[in-house]
Copies of this chain bind each other. A is one copy, B any other.
């Protein structure tokens, strides 16, 4: 496994930052045309409230094009999560738990194998605080199990959890902290929770990605340089990520692209952007009316983007104003799913009764 899979090249080519494999795939199909990517499979399943897309990156070429390491990426899209309905949240937590169980099984994890859950991100910066908040709501059991007689442990999994903070606050690469702790406690797998960057405003806090490729440098809302994966930790790493921001660069770039899209609409009369229900002029979208735009030189695009985003260019993020409460809700979904998936067939209350 290499450390880099062309994330940088992908960004430089398309001016779009996304941590979702599903979106990388979308971007390529959109920009390069419909044919399938070599070595990349996409399966889709619909449930009552959600769409689950399972992207498998099988070849290095596919990985390089998408800027994503080879492996499995499951994405649960549930725009209905924005409606603050508790029943829906529980349904999605169940879906996520099932998906997670598949990943744990694939990793060869036994039912009593200990797991270290890691809440990545900066607890002081709301859009980056997803990981630490999930950890705060998690049922940790490792210490209880260690103090209990073995006959009571049956079927329970020892769960430990840390929020290692970010480089700027600790002076230590997050990956180093995880390595140190994971090795010390002999975890059989590491599950990282992270806030992601999406390409699409619509996916914020309504989409969940699970993958078995670990966390690669430059991914997520924070800036990490050390990969966190099977190779560096020596145990399987499952990453659960939820987009909480769109990079400002992406937003501006997308606007410019749409402008061009209008122009080349004539040739692609069937192009309808999938990710909006905004009541746009159908003539425009169907290319029946030209937008008066010539192709924009890549260099000019860069300049434009620089203009509007200086002096914070690389770090400007776009979030909904209500991001704080949105994150609280998906936190509940993820923490709930982890509690279900970790202790299969055991009720929370039971767990505590067993152990205390």
Contacts and interface: CB of A to CB of B under 8 A. Distances in A.
Tell me the number of copies of this protein. 4
A209 interface: no
A299 interface: yes
Nearest to A323: B125
Nearest to A205: B312
14 contacts: A126-B126, A162-B165, A163-B165, A177-B180, A180-B184, A201-B309, A201-B311, A255-B255, A276-B307, A278-B303, A278-B306, A292-B295, A315-B321, A315-B322
Nearest to A141: B171
Contact of A185 (B172, B284, B303, B305): B172
Given A125-B322, A180-B181, A201-B312, A296 B259 contact: yes
Contacts of A183: 180
Interface in A96-142: 124-128, 135-136, 140-142
Contacts of A297: 292
Nearest to A299: B281
B254 A308 contact: yes
A352 B168 CA distance: 13
B307 A258 contact: yes
A202 interface: yes
Contacts of A176: 181, 184-185
Enumerate the 8 nearest inter-chain pairs by beta-carbon distance, A residue then B residue, closest first.
Answer: A180-B180, A142-B171, A292-B294, A180-B184, A140-B171, A160-B171, A278-B306, A312-B320
Q: Helix, strand, loop or mixed for chain A's interface? A: helix
A311 B162 contact: no
Interface in A151-186: 158-165, 167-173, 176-177, 179-185
Contacts of A317: 318-321
Contact of A284 (B172, B284, B303, B310): B303
Interface stretch (A63-71, A78-86, A235-243): A78-86
Contact of A248 (B159, B180, B251): B251
Contacts of A204: 312
A159 B311 CA distance: 29
Contacts of A256: 255-256, 259
Contact of A143 (B84, B171, B284): B171
A223 to B, nearest CB: 9
A291 interface: yes
A311 B202 contact: yes
Contacts of A325: 124
A29 interface: no
